[in-house]
Amino acid sequence: MFSMKSVVAGMLIAGTSSMAFAAGNPLSVHVLNIENGLPSPDVTVTLERKESGQWVELNQAVTNEQGRIGELYPDGERLVEGTYRVVFATGDWFAKQNTSTFFPEIPVVFTMDAALDHYHVPLLLSPYGFSTYRGN
């Protein structure tokens, strides 16, 4: 049986390790399926930056078992202030789940102005709706 002290210590260690994982990278994302309350692993996410009126792809990654990508900004590059877009390939993900969806992809457009060291874009997802916000 676990003591409350060991459970709290484990939670602190787990939280610290996930924060440390993303600490050096200015952008992370998290996808949760609100239909069943579970993370959404294997969602392809593309990061783009608007340059001269065009979207330029910077990076692409796939969510892990916790539905997270801890380091989506290109490795080793310093943050460039500007307008960004993350595109979640939700249609492909729902197809793998044998579930119909209204959204073949979900683009989220936002500004990174370097006022923060780290930006986090969570996506709360269901087959016929979604929500997002600036996380931390």
What CATH number is associated with residue 67? 2.60.40.180
Digit-coded pLDDT (tens) for 59-108: 999 999 999 999 999 998 889 999 999 999 999 999 999 999 999 999 99
Count of structural domains within the chain:
1
Digit-coded pLDDT (tens) for 33-56: 999 999 999 999 999 999 999 999
- Nearest residue to 71 via CA among 35, 7, 28: 28
The torsion angle over the Cα atoms of residues 65, 94, 47 and 64, rounded to 10 degrees, is 0
The percent of residues in the chain predicted with pLDDT above 70, rounded, is: 83
Domain of 79 in residue numbering reads as 4-132
Residue 11, both tokens? 């939670």
Contacts of 126 (CB under 8 A, 6+ apart): 33, 34, 35
Per-residue confidence (pLDDT) for residue 24, from 0 to 100: 83
Per-residue confidence (pLDDT) for residue 76, from 0 to 100: 87
Residue that the structure tokens 């600490």 belong to: 23
pLDDT, the chain, mean: 87
CA distance to 39, 70, 101, 106, per residue, from 17 (Å): 18, 11, 34, 29
Per-residue confidence (pLDDT) for residue 44, from 0 to 100: 98
Confidence of residue 10 (pLDDT cuts 50, 70, 90): very low
Does the pLDDT of residue 16 top 70, yes or no?
no
